Structure 1
Amino acid sequence: MHGRNRRRRAPSRRFPAQGDQGQVAGRNELPRDRLHRSVRAVGQLAGLGANFDAFADEESFVLGAFLFEDVGVSAYAGAAKRVASDMKLADAAGILAVEAYHAGIIRAQIGEMGPATIEKANAISRARDTLDGPENAETVTEPGRIHISNTDAQGRAFPRRVGEVLNQVYGAPGGGVNHGGFFPRGVNGVVRRTVRDKPPLTPGAGA
């Protein structure tokens, strides 16, 4: 999917951010079959059914976007101190900001969709916790509150280590995992396997 080849979806009367969601999907060039496979696996883990399809309807699309955008924010937040070049750090910061905008749009939309959708999003959050641990409290709601950003008490985004990001995109918990989910053949970066022998990051810490 490419932004230049994808028509922007017109906002619906009830959900005006729908057009923004289309831009999110269009600008992130994700092969649809891999996206289906990865989202379906986490959907199953969250109890959303064996055939969860992120493209089936508006609610499913928003839930699928919720799955990836939050992980993107935490990935860039965790990797920030590993970037040695000021120029590359500026680029990464720009991408992090855009990911955070997208994640906020999706979380706000989930809040507007009502209790049933909110509970499904929280189920996805709990499912993600089974993959890399419960340190990143990512639920959309808690009693009396809707979280449109996933931050600590100081308003800082929760970071993930590289290995924890791989747990998410591979769709598998524990250490030593080198493929699966969105990357059935693994990734080609320096770190390719999940590692679970380090304590969780705190906001502002290096990856």
Structure 2
Amino acid sequence: MKMSSPLAEVPWSRLQGTEIFIAAMTHQAANARRHYHNAAHVQRLYWHAAVTFQLPYSRALDLAILTHDVIFDCRQDRELRSIDWLAAHLPDGEDDPDFLEAKRYIASTIDHRLTEHPEMVLLDLADFIDPKVSLENTDLLRKEARDLNGVAPEIFAMGCSSYLEGLHDRFKQGAAQLPATLLYIHTQICRGILNTRKTLHDACKQMERSYV
């Protein structure tokens, strides 16, 4: 998804125009090396909340969408530090009535395991439904790994392929947590993860042959 202005109008959210929305979106747009984990990714999740899933409004989920990747760098515990960022930018901090639920939503994106509250995981993985968008995202992630961490393309392809294999297994096992109305989308996401992994696996094989 090409990013418009980080403060452009988004669907579903009721935080737009607030200090925390402006701070989070501006922060996520500021680092040009964040090719994927940026304000465009947040905008995409709001679109999925409104269109793909047509979710009822939840301020806690709104906060989680906005800030789940607000911290994204080469250090560990990015999601936990994003939770800390959220607490620091809420007027009432951890006493905000929606903070704990937002925290749980953000924490669910650490390994993307479906729970009895699957909304954030589904939103974060919904781009896998569209093969074209998924491949575009993979290229953005490759550039991000290169520019943030100095990862070579062949190392990225191998590492991402392995990660997607584990992600598929974790996500597939969580199907029992979902209502019947979401099982078709769950299947689409699983298929998209596998297709993306196959593309990366084939790329690895091609790079191996080029070195022979």
Same fold (TM over 0.5): no
Q: When the two structures are superposed, what TM-score results if normalisation uses the length of structure 1?
A: 0.36
Q: Which has more radius of gyration?
A: 2
Q: TM-score, normalised by structure 2?
A: 0.35
Q: Which has the higher contact order (CA 8 A, sep 6+)?
A: 1
The structure with the greater share of residues assigned to helix is: 2
